[in-house]
């Protein structure tokens, strides 16, 4: 056993430091589940002070450390090498304070998103971040990834939901910026530096989050559309009619809808499979009767004015689950095709239709039998793309990446709207960021982590 691991065990005890052998029974990723963890040691701090001392020791030994949350990252952000130490926040999982009056909650970084959501519901409150990985992902990981999710069209992304943050720097310095106010202009807003930093600038240990009143109504419809322009007009119309109650506006291209509603999928199609586009639209408000009337009216007017070709509204929890499963059951793609490359691009809504047509044509020109699926958070300008061309090697992946990413530079889009850069997108960061921006990121990294021990090799190009 290395001197460092022995020192860590002596300082924190066996319970807080798992050796390489002890950690090897755990999965390395809750997304792929295909490998076990292989790291020098796995640190399991219980307090911020533990994190501080652990990082101080590792920094003195020039030991690299990879922060681990719920391990649902999909771009290699939590990949840990055998000579690296992993630090999991799993034991820092307490909700420390719920303020119904101030609409804030103070949480430790290891709280699982779904657990927080459930606890808040019991208090009549809502934490609006919602995503498919909610049963495993942790608040610290959500913050480090600036997660978006299914209700961002109304509530924004983690950047909009975090009021205060506690972070431990690489040398063990604790930066406590646990602000609870909406407005605080006393100098730089330091928390924003760490939100979306993917574990490269500090370890997030605690946060103050903004919460909202629990909505009293939920109206959800699946809508079929004749063309993209209808989807665009429907979105504008829904924003106008539903105002701030519009919580989700998810667009599905036909291929994706048909895959999700045909065998081996267990979900039947709520609408005929013949339309080129489908939208899953949801509104949540505070007045059940009035909200239902406004939603019904929206669908009726949309149909009468030629914005909607067909529609179905969820009438029960079972139907609600059915409609959402068609949007969310992405795992199905991986059981039908292999390998599958996954993307989460961002772009202006007006660019979506031509962009999808352009890349589909290019993909088909190279691989005639390529499988290509597009869907996503149209209301947020963020789409998910899945590509399967039957080949699984680095050169093919690079070629597909190039087809997907290159046009985004021309139209001012982003190579990632949600998943971050991690390892996978490092070669393409320059398409979404200028060299001056990347140099400033590197300067910040050097200032906060001069020895480069925190999640080295991720996010920033070498
Ligand atoms: C099925 C599925 C659906 C998803 N849907 C969405 C979606 O709709 N929207 C979206 O935005 N994302 C989505 N994601 C990806 C999303 O980013 C993650 O699910 C989630 O936000 C990451 O949280 P985690 O706790 O699993 O973090 P991890 O995967 O453990 O870590 C993510 C990154 O943050 C770092 N990190 C983790 N914890 C800390 C900490 N305490 N301090 C500093 N750094 C830390 C890690 O080093 C890593 O770089 C999805 C993923 C899956 C598998």
Per-residue pLDDT at 111 exceeds 80: yes
* Span 290-311, average pLDDT: 96
Per-residue pLDDT at 31 exceeds 90: no
Which ligand 1 atom lies nearest to the CA of residue 150?
A: 8
Q: Residue 134 C-alpha to ligand 1 middle, in angstroms?
A: 10
Q: pLDDT tens across 243-299, in order?
A: 999 999 999 999 999 999 999 999 999 999 999 999 999 999 999 999 999 999 999
Q: Where in the chain do CATH 3.30.43.10 domains reside? A: 3-90
Distance in angstroms (rounded) separating the CA atoms of residues 274 and 258: 9
Give the pLDDT score at 403: 98
Average pLDDT taken over every residue of the chain: 97
pTM across the whole model: 0.97
Per-residue pLDDT at 149 exceeds 90: no
For the domain spanning 337-443, the CATH number is 3.30.70.2740
Distance in angstroms (rounded) separating the CA atoms of residues 238 and 150: 16
* Span 129-154, average pLDDT: 96
Give the pLDDT score at 32: 83
Fold of 3-90: 3.30.43
Per-residue pLDDT at 1 exceeds 80: no
Q: Where in the chain do CATH 3.30.70.2740 domains reside? A: 337-443
Q: Residue 72 C-alpha to ligand 1 middle, in angstroms?
A: 5
* Span 109-123, average pLDDT: 98
If residue 219 lies in a helix (H) or strand (E), which one and from where to where? strand 217-225
Fold of 95-213: 3.30.465
Distance in angstroms (rounded) separating the CA atoms of residues 13 and 5: 11
DSSP for 31-55, please give it.
TT--SB---SEEE--SSHHHHHHHH
Distance in angstroms (rounded) separating the CA atoms of residues 336 and 392: 15
Q: Residue 302 C-alpha to ligand 1 middle, in angstroms?
A: 37
Per-residue pLDDT at 205 exceeds 90: yes
Helix, coil or strand: residue 213:
strand
Q: In 166-200, which positions are buried (b, 16+ CB within 10 angstroms) versus exposed (e)?
A: bbbbbbbebbebebeeeeeeeeeeebebbbbbbbb
Give the pLDDT score at 34: 82
Which ligand 1 atom lies nearest to the CA of residue 204?
A: 42
List the structure tokens of 106: 């103070």
Architecture of domain 217-329: 2-Layer Sandwich (3.30)
Q: Residue 238 C-alpha to ligand 1 middle, in angstroms?
A: 30
Q: Where in the chain do CATH 3.30.465.10 domains reside? A: 95-213
Among 55, 131, 197, 424, residue to substitute to test ligand 1 (most atoms within 8 Å of Cβ) = 131
Per-residue pLDDT at 3 exceeds 80: yes
């Amino acid at each position: 056993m290395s001197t460092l691991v022995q020192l860590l065990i002596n300082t924190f005890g066996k319970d807080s430091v798992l050796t390489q052998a002890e950690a090897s029974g755990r999965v390395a990723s809750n997304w792929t589940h295909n490998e076990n963890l292989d790291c020098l040691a796995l640190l399991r701090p219980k307090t911020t002070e533990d994190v501080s001392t652990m990082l101080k020791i590792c920094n003195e030994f020039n030991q690299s450390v990879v922060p681990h949350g719920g391990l649902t990252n999909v771009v290699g952000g939590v990949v840990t090498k055998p000579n690296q130490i992993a630090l999991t926040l799993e034991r820092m999982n307490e909700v420390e304070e719920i303020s119904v009056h101030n609409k804030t909650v103070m949480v430790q970084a290891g709280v699982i998103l779904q657990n927080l959501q459930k606890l808040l519901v019991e208090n009549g409150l809502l934490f609006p971040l919602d995503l498919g990985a909610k049963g495993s992902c942790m608040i610290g990981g959500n913050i480090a990834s600036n997660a978006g999710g299914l209700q961002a069209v109304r509530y924004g992304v983690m950047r909009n939901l975090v009021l205060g943050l506690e972070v431990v720097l690489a040398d063990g310095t604790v930066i406590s910026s646990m602000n609870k106010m909406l407005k605080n202009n006393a100098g730089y807003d330091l928390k924003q530096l760490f939100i979306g930093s993917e574990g490269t600038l500090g370890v997030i240990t605690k946060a103050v989050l903004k919460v909202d009143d629990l909505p009293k109504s939920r109206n959800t419809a699946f809508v079929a559309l004749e063309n993209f322009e209808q989807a665009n007009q429907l979105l504008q119309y829904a924003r106008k009619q539903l105002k701030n109650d519009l919580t989700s506006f998810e667009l599905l291209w036909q291929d994706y809808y048909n895959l999700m509603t045909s065998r081996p999928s267990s979900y039947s199609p709520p609408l005929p499979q013949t339309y080129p586009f489908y939208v899953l639209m949801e509104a949540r408000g505070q007045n059940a009767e009035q909200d239902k009337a406004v939603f019904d009216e929206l669908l009726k007017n949309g149909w009468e004015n030629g914005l909607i070709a067909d529609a179905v509204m969820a009438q029960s929890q079972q139907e609600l689950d059915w409609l959402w499963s068609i949007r969310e059951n992405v795992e199905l793609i991986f059981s039908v095709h292999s390998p599958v490359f996954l993307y989460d691009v961002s772009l202006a809504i007006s660019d979506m239709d031509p962009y999808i047509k352009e890349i589909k044509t290019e993909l088909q020109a190279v691989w005639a039998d390529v499988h290509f699926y597009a869907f996503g958070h149209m209301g947020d300008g963020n789409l998910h793309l899945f590509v399967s061309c039957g080949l699984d090697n680095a050169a093919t992946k690079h070629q597909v990446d190039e087809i997907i990413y290159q046009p985004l530079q021309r139209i001012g889009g982003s190579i990632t709207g949600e998943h971050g850069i991690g390892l996978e997108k490092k070669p393409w960061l320059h398409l979404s960021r200028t060299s001056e921006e990347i140099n400033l990121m590197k300067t910040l990294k050097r200032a906060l982590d001069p020895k480069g021990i925190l999640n080295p090799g991720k996010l920033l190009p070498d």
